């Protein structure tokens, strides 16, 4: 549900609302999920319609998509999609967007892909009508959902109902590209697991990784499903999480830290999400410099703006960074 510095962490919370829904607690920490992006417990995907019903509907140019709120008749091949939710997932499957949320539009991984596409919100009803969409995708916490349904077939997703892979497969179902989405999910899972196994063989079976984020002199540590590559290192690669991180961040998704306690949460490897434009003075402190992972050169930096979703484009981007950082392979 840029997992996503060009916006304060409290604004990144809005990103997750836009990308995946809403889940917040703790001071100012943001989320992805994005599409991220994303704390999203696994849940079963909605059941598919019968083969006969699907074939009949597709022949007429529509399919019956089984959404979390019941069946929605949507175009079999939508050409004018407004994605206020899951836009990166739609883009990864070649979906044609005419409207997109501001967070995806500002993400460096997608700026070129959405160039020229109108940036809209659920409150821009007149603009949405002018764009003449044939499909609208929206998060369950957005405003005006009933009014959006009057404009075009509207599918609602609630962040947390599906994990990051199932969300992609679900978007595949919606766009009538389920096989393509499933093939990517299977392939990505295998490749990530293989890289994880290689890391364990090199660094030890009990190797641990911590995902920190630094924004405005404040550190955050993340659980296993809050974008920033957390789904990759903990779920897909199967790498270990330090006990303090499990205790404080695994449940809520993230946890706010002072610089002084960082060593208590640091693993053998550190993934540091930060913005080059931010205040990074904390990285010059003795506390940071003297942590074993820092001394060993086991710090992998990622761009916060490009890491706050959990869609295929972001996941592939981060997987390559983690592979190079932990194995020295591009």
Do 21 and 140 contact (CB within 8 A), yes or no?
yes
Instruction: Work out the mean pLDDT of the chain and round it to a whole number.
Output: 86
The answer on pLDDT for 213 being more than 90 is yes
Determine how β-strand 269-274 pairs with β-strand 299-303: parallel
% of the chain surpassing 70 pLDDT? 82
Cα-based distances in Å from 297 to 206, 268, 301, 323: 19, 10, 11, 15
**pLDDT reported for residue 242:** 98
User: Crossing angle of helices 178-203/312-327, nearest 10°?
Assistant: 20
| Residue ranges of E strands in 125-180 | 135-139, 154-157
The answer on pLDDT for 240 being more than 70 is yes
The answer on pLDDT for 266 being more than 90 is yes
The domain spans of the chain are: 51-179, 195-327
pLDDT tens digits, residue range 292-306? 999 999 999 999 999
* Angle at 182 (CA atoms; ends 179, 205), nearest 5 degrees: 160
Fold: same for 51-179 and 195-327: yes
The answer on pLDDT for 277 being more than 90 is no
Average pLDDT for residues 153-165, to the nearest whole number? 93
The answer on pLDDT for 74 being more than 60 is yes
Cα-based distances in Å from 245 to 13, 32, 147, 231, 273: 20, 18, 42, 15, 16
pTM for this entry: 0.83
The answer on pLDDT for 149 being more than 60 is yes
Q: Rounded to an integer, what distance in angstroms lies between the CA atom of residue 86 and that of residue 89?
A: 5
Of the candidates 77, 127, 100, 80, the residue with the CA atom closest to the CA atom of residue 19: 100
Residue 159 pLDDT level (bands cut at 50, 70, 90): confident
Identify which has the larger pLDDT, 160 or 252.
252
* Angle at 208 (CA atoms; ends 202, 212), nearest 5 degrees: 125
Do 75 and 59 contact (CB within 8 A), yes or no?
no
**pLDDT reported for residue 5:** 38
CATH of domain 51-179: 3.40.50.1980
**pLDDT reported for residue 112:** 95
Q: Which of 52-56, 68-72, 88-92, 123-127 has the lowest mean pLDDT?
A: 52-56
Cα-based distances in Å from 1 to 309, 324, 327: 8, 27, 29
% of the chain surpassing 90 pLDDT? 78
Residue 144 is given by DSSP the state -
**pLDDT reported for residue 9:** 44
Domain 195-327 class in CATH: alpha beta
Q: Rounded to an integer, what distance in angstroms lies between the CA atom of residue 222 and that of residue 230?
A: 7
């Amino acid at each position: 549900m840029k997992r996503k510095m060009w916006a304060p962490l409290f604004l990144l919370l809005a990103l997750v609302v836009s990308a995946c829904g809403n889940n917040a607690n703790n001071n100012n920490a943001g989320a992805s999920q994005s599409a991220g992006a994303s704390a999203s417990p696994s849940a079963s995907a909605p059941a598919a319609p019968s083969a006969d019903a699907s074939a009949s509907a597709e022949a007429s140019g529509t399919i019956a998509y089984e959404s979390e709120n019941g069946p929605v008749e949507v175009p079999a091949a939508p050409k004018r999609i407004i994605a206020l939710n899951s836009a990166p997932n739609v883009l990864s499957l070649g979906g044609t967007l005419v409207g997109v949320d501001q967070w995806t539009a500002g993400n460096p991984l997608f700026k070129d892909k959405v160039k020229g596409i109108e940036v809209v919100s659920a409150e821009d009803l007149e603009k949405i009508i002018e764009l003449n969409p044939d499909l609208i995708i929206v998060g369950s916490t957005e405003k005006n959902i009933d009014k959006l349904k009057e404009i075009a077939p509207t599918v609602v997703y609630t962040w947390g109902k599906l994990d990051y892979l199932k969300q992609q497969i679900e978007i595949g179902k919606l766009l009538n590209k389920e096989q393509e989405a499933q093939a990517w999910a299977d392939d990505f899972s295998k490749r990530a697991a293989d890289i994880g196994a290689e890391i364990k063989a090199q660094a030890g079976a009990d190797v641990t990784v911590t995902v920190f984020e630094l924004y405005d002199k404040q550190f955050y540590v993340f659980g296993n499903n809050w974008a920033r590559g957390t789904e990759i290192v903990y779920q897909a690669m199967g790498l270990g999480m330090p006990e303090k991180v499990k205790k404080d961040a695994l449940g809520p998704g993230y946890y706010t830290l002072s610089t002084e306690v960082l060593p208590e949460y640091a693993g053998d490897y550190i993934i540091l999400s930060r913005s080059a434009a931010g205040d990074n003075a904390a990285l010059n402190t003795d506390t940071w410099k003297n942590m074993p992972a820092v001394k060993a050169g086991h710090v992998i930096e990622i761009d916060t703006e490009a890491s706050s979703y959990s869609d295929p484009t972001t996941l592939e981007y981060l997987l390559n960074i983690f592979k190079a950082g932990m194995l020295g392979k591009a």
